[in-house]
Amino acid sequence: MQKLEEKIGYRFHKRELLNTALTHSSFANESHDQDCQSYERLEFLGDSILGYVTAEFLYRHEPRLPEGRMTRLRAELVCEQSLHQVALRLGLGSYMRLGKGEEHTGGRERPSILADMVESIIAAIYLDSGSLDEPRRFVTAQILKNAEIGDSHRLADYKTELQELVQRKANQHIAYELIGESGPDHCKTFTFRVSINGETAGEGSGRTKKEAEQMAACEALRKLRA
């Protein structure tokens, strides 16, 4: 845990909060300890803290950005793919506590679980420190510090970009399809597929259906421009 605290950049006073942040529901369900809890409640709180800190960052550092672009950029910064990359840098997979079944089905490497764990750690830092200062420092260092805020490509509406690119040719048809959803009702993750003339062009996930569609369009644009 000390190594993980060094990576996070925060030393916990109540290390049980960090333990909970790393505990998947499968482990808690299999545990004989009635006090063992999963990270789901922490994740719920962490999601809100992350959204607020990111919104505050964009508001203060990008005074010329209109509301629509700030909304899209915030969605991209806090999406599953972004949080998954944070989890990989921190090596969270090796610290998480999983049940046997989840372990055998690759849960330690599952992007959705790793992304959720980043949010639970944000909440754990907040509860342990008693203020927003430490979670804000963590989010800034891990997610916002190197964000290419001024990059017009990151601020783009990917669905509109894809539509404009595809419609350069006649008789092109784009369709978005919901292909999966996971997580508790208060914090679902949606996965969408975008198809061009019936052929899969990209897939993407997000906390809202609109965000997932944008991520699918982003993936399609990446492939088309490769």
Between 177 and 169, where is the model more confident? 177
Between 56 and 63, where is the model more confident? 56
| Helix, strand or coil, per DSSP, at residue 190 | strand
Question: Which position among 43, 47, 80, 128 bears the catalytic label?
Answer: 47
Say which CATH topology domain 158-225 has. Answer: Double Stranded RNA Binding Domain (3.30.160)
CATH superfamily of this structure's domain 2-144: Ribonuclease III domain (1.10.1520.10)
49 Cβ neighbours under 8 A, 6+ residues apart: 122, 123, 126, 132, 135, 139
- Between the CA of residue 205 and those of 13, 67, 212, what are the distances in Å? 35, 22, 4
Q: How many helices and strands in the chain, by DSSP H and E?
A: 11, 3
The per-residue pLDDT for range 95-108, each reduced to its tens digit, is 999 888 888 888 88
Q: In the predicted model, what is the mean pLDDT of residues 19-48?
A: 90
Look at residue 146 in the predicted model and tell me its pLDDT.
Answer: 64
Q: Is 185 among the catalytic positions?
A: no
Mean confidence (pLDDT) of the chain = 87
The per-residue pLDDT for range 77-136, each reduced to its tens digit, is 888 888 998 999 999 989 999 888 888 888 888 888 999 999 999 999 999 999 999 999
Of 120, 91, 89, whose CA–CA distance to 24 is shortest? 120
Give the pair of three-digit tokens for residue 82: 């972004």
Question: Which position among 102, 119, 128, 213 bears the catalytic label?
Answer: 119
Q: Say how far apart CA 53 and CA 140 lie, in whole Å.
A: 8
Q: Is 119 among the catalytic positions?
A: yes
Give domain limits for the chain.
2-144, 158-225
